[in-house]
Structures are given as structure tokens and as C-alpha cells.
Amino acid sequence: MFTGISRRFFLAGLGSLVSGAASAAGMGVSLRPQLRPDGIVGGAPVSAEALVSQALPDGTVSYTVADAATGEVLENRLAGVGLPPASVTKTITALYALDNLGAGYRFATRLIAEGTLRDGVLDGDLVLAGGGDPTLDTKALAELASALKAAGLREVRGRFLVWAGALPYRRQIDSAQPAHVGYNPAVCGLALNFNRVHFEWKRADGKYGVSMDARAGQYRPEVQVAQMAVVDRGTPVYTYSDKGGVDHWTVARGALGNGGARWLPVRRPDLYAADVFRTLARSHGIELPREELAERAPQGSELARHHSDTLQSILRGMLKYSNNLVAEMVGMIASRKRTGQPVGMRASAGVMSRWAEVELGMEDVVLVDHSGLGDASRLRAGDMVRALVESRAKKALHPLLKTIPMRAANDGNSNDITVRAKTGTLNFVSGLAGYIEGKGQRELAFAVFSADMSRRAEIPRAQRERPRGARPWNRRARRLQRKLIERWDRLYLA
């Protein structure tokens, strides 16, 4: 539970959002409150409306900045307008997971014997059972294979089963993304290497050698569940098809050059993990049958178990690297704990949205996932700041958020401030939300959301990885965020 200032006090600070938003859009008048003379250092700063019009005349910009301790709203623009939060969503997911699972929660991946183990022979089935660990990697599977040998198992006379039913299966996080982007893999209760396979190629004597492996650390086992063919064509660069549970990829020869590598998404993470585990078990002299899917949760004797790091550590990495799969899996596991049953991604995001309204005092939350990859989600800057103010008392986010570097201001004054925040980026969508600490005791909570949904809607699916015009637009959005932070520093922290 997150407690803090009253909702009435915070909303009173926002004022009349509907009429204020209309005034800003129609008249271009800054919504900032009357400033005290001693609140200006080195001359009056450029108005917020001027900064917005200079940076992003072709988009919608919404922001709110407030005193992080009291919730007093210091400045806002279209604070009641919902925009896609992109990966800023992950801050809500982090708070949701902490509240429902606890900072010390650890995920478990288990090997279970359904049958009798005698003299090294299992007369029954061996089950690789996922527990929703989003950080499981090949090294962890290698440790499980070693533990299996240490448990005395030499032979399995039944089946080798894989169970991933801790979470409902989803083929990809966002169906609007290109098929080949590694940040949009499948989701289920068993993950490996963030559900990505490593594709590497090298040209020799005019021919390409390719490999598909599950590398992690010193381990590089080749896989059977993902295959690649080099073909003669111009575009598209990649094609994908599912053939009997095997990911079949093709890549255009002309796009490869002399060599290189990239991570591709995996569409059947359960089969991927089982494929890799069979290889690792074989290295210990344990020959397992071809994997099959378990139809129910396993019941039997536990032979080995791998524990993840703590949830707090996992969330810190999730926010630092903005990992989509981690966000989806921890969010869905939190919903499973909250509801008592496995919940699909979209439904789980709805459960999290309702939790945010009750526990964080947010007014109008519409989230379609836990990572922010889907652009149908909507958050309001005022709501996001409300959540930051509400969670500040427990310092839940402070140890998780990364520090955003601030360059010296254009007037030569150094930025003697610390910004801890979460960025969010989609094509023609940009967000930043977090805390600003100055030289004194005061701390600000802020959120800035920007979007040009008309231009985003025009992007063909095949071009969504790098559409024309998106990078310059997003650079201007980030520049605006920095300018606004500089402004707030001079006005409210100096």
C-alpha cells in the first residue's frame, strides 16, 4: 500500500485541467503559476510555451511538475490529456510488482521427477518447470543440469516434459511490431535469454556460414528450434514462419556484408529452453528424450531448483535496460499473485491499471501491457506525477531509477541537480518521468509526455524499426525534456 498526501489536495493543485488544457491549446498561454521575484535566478527563463513550440510544433506535449514532498503543483500543460507513456509504464509495473510480490521475492525454475528414481534411473517423466523467471539464462540451465547429475540421475525411461503454464502463452508482446525485432518476443511461464536467439553470420569464399545459438557467458549451445536460411533477394531483410513449432527465418543476402550478429525473438520459449537443456544434460552424460509439452502443472519429487536474484535487483535491471520481457513477466506474475490464477497480458495490464487507481491515486489509467511497447496505452502527466508523489514516502522507486545525466545549461551555469527518472521511447512518442533533486532539501516530481500519433499511424509495420523522420523527432523531444528540467531547476530549486 502506498500512502501520502490526500488526493483532494493534489487535484486542487492541478486546478481546472479541462479548461486549462483548452486555454493552452487555443491561446498558447503558459499555465505556470505566478512566480515570486526571488524564484528567478539570472533573468527570467524562456517560457514553457516557447520551449514547446520551438521543439515540437508537430505533436502534443503534456507535462506536470510538483513538489515531491507536498504534491503542490508548480507547473503543468495539458496535464489531463492521456498520451502513450512508452517505457515510462515500467515505473508503474515496478511499483505494482513490489506491492504484490515484495522486494525479496525470487522466481524458481525446477526439475521434477514424476516417478521413481532408483539407482540413477528415473522410471517416469522428468519435467522442466518454469516459475516465471524472466532472467533465466543458459548459465542457469547449465547449473541445473549439473545439479541433476549430482542428484544421481543417469537415465530417464519416461518422457522429458516442459511446463510453462505459470503464465498464459502469448506469441509476441505487440503484434504491430516487425517480426524480427528482439525486443518483442513471446511470453510464457518459462523464459531463456530474454527469449532471444543469437544469429551470427560470416562470409568466406563467397559463401555464408550461419549459426543460431543460446549463448550466455562461456556457453554457446546451438539450437534446433530456430533455423536460418540466406536467400537471394533485396527486401524484406527478414522473413519469418512457424513450421511445426520451429522458427524458420530467412535473411536477404545483400543485407549481410562480410559478417555480423544480432538477437532475434523466440516464439516458443518453452521449447527453446527444453532444447538447450537437453544439450546441456547431454554434456553430463544424461541423454534425454525429445521434449514434449506438459498439459498440467507437475506433481512429483523436486530434484533441482534454480532461484533468481531478488525482485528488487531484477526491477533495477529492468528499469536500467528497459527490458520489455522482464516487465511483462513480473507484471503478469504479480497479477497471478493478486488474483490467484494465471492472467493474460492484456487482462493483467487491466488489473494493474485498477490497482494504480486505488493505491496510487491515479484518475484515468489505460494500460494494455506492462512494458509500454503497445501504443494504445494512455497515461496523463498529472496522474504520473501523482503516482510519483504517492510512492515517494516509501522511497520505492529511488533505489531503482537510473540517473539521467544533465549537461551544463546554455547560459554557462552548471546543472547542480540530480535527475532520477525513467525514459520512454517509441517512434514519434517520447516520455520522461521521475524526480529532480537540487542543492537544497527540495525535490521535484515530474512527468513529460510527447507524441505525434498521426505520423506514427502512417508507419507501415515493416518499417517500424527505423521509420523515416522518427529519430530527429525523438531527439527534439528529448531536447525539450532537458530544457524543461533546466527551467524547473532555475524556477523552483535555485
pLDDT, tens digit (0-9, with 9 covering 90-100), for 340-369: 999 999 999 999 999 999 999 999 999 999
Q: For the chain, what's the residue count?
A: 494
Cα–Cα distance between 359 and 394 in angstroms, integer?
13
The owner of cell 535473411 is 251
CA atoms within 13 A on the CB side of 126: 28
Residue 410 pLDDT grade (very low, low, confident, very high; cuts 50, 70, 90): low
pLDDT tens digits, 164-199: 999 999 999 999 999 999 999 999 999 999 999 999
- Whether the CB-CB separation of 401 and 436 falls below 8 Å is answered with no
Show the cell assigned to 33.
503559476
pLDDT at residue 4, as a whole number: 39
| pLDDT value at 250 more than 70 | yes
Kindly report which listed range (148-162, 263-277, 404-418) carries the lowest average pLDDT score: 404-418
Q: How confident is the model at residue 407, as a pLDDT? A: 65
Listed in order, strand segments (DSSP E) in 119-205 are 121-129, 155-156, 160-163, 196-204
Nearest to 474, CA basis, from 34, 55, 192: 55
The β-bridge partners of 76 are 64
- CB atoms inside a 10 Å sphere around CB 462: 14
Ranking 200-214, 283-297, 302-316, 451-465 by mean pLDDT, the lowest is 451-465
Rounded distance between C-alpha atoms, residue 163 and residue 338, angstroms: 22
Residues 6+ apart with CB under 8 A from 454: none
pLDDT above 70 coverage of the chain, percent: 89
| Cis-peptide into 399, omega within 30 deg | no
**Separation of CA 280 from chain center:** 29
